[in-house]
């Protein structure tokens, strides 16, 4: 099994470079466009089941209603083109579990940054309504081990700042 080390926090460029390396023979990044969108997908690869588009979504995809609405439009456009769109949230890191869960690829990934919300992360309290809904769907669909890490990070932020400075009331149950 391949071993890959990620230095520092994951970002869009690191994710794209790593996926390009892992999917080199089927890489399609930079060449995939959705009709009606001015966006070209920098991170994309092809499988025998179709094209996989990858979006690394920063905090603004959770906090800005207009961006969150546009994400939904892109999701529909990708589905209409029979592409799979994987949205990778900023609050996750890429490790072996996530690589297998999101991308179905085995590799031994070494990273020292934990999943979840670090001290300088944008916290769910800042999320718009659509961002809260998206976060709730995502947190309940990730592997359980990673779910626990994300919840632990939220509990750490609550212990530092207080629950009302970390989470909107509808998400208090996550750390209860």
Q: What pTM was computed for the model?
A: 0.92
Residue 165: per-residue pLDDT? 98
pLDDT at position 81 over 90: no
Phi, psi (deg, nearest 5) at residue 142: -85, 160
d(CA 99, CA 4): 11
Condensed to tens digits (0 to 9), the pLDDT of residues 14-46 reads: 999 999 999 999 999 877 877 666 777 889 999
Tokens coding 151: 């919840």
Angle (CA) 155 156 161, round 5°:
95
Name the pLDDT band for 132 (thresholds 50, 70, 90): very high
Mean of per-residue pLDDT scores for the chain = 93
Angle (CA) 114 120 124, round 5°:
85
Contacts of residue 169, Cβ cutoff 8 Å, sequence gap at least 6: none
Tokens coding 59: 């905090």
Give me the residue spans of the domains in the chain.
3-175
Tokens coding 24: 């080199």
């Amino acid at each position: 099994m391949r071993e890959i080390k990620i230095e520092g926090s994951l970002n869009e460029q690191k994710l794209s470079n790593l996926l390009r390396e892992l999917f080199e023979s089927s890489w399609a990044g930079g060449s995939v466009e959705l009709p009606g969108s001015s966006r070209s997908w920098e991170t994309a690869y092809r499988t025998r089941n179709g094209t996989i588009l990858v979006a690394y979504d920063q905090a603004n995809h959770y906090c800005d209603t207009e961006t969150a609405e546009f994400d939904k439009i892109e999701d529909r456009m990708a589905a209409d083109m029979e592409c799979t769109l994987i949205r990778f949230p900023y609050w996750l890191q890429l490790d072996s579990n996530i690589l297998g869960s999101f991308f179905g690829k085995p590799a031994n990934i070494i990273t020292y940054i934990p999943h979840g919300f670090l001290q300088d992360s944008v916290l769910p309290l800042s999320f718009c309504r659509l961002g809260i809904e998206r976060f709730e769907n995502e947190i309940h669909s990730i592997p359980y081990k990673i779910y626990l890490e994300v919840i632990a990070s939220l509990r750490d932020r609550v212990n530092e700042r207080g629950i009302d400075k970390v989470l909107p009331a509808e998400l208090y149950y996550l750390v209860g």
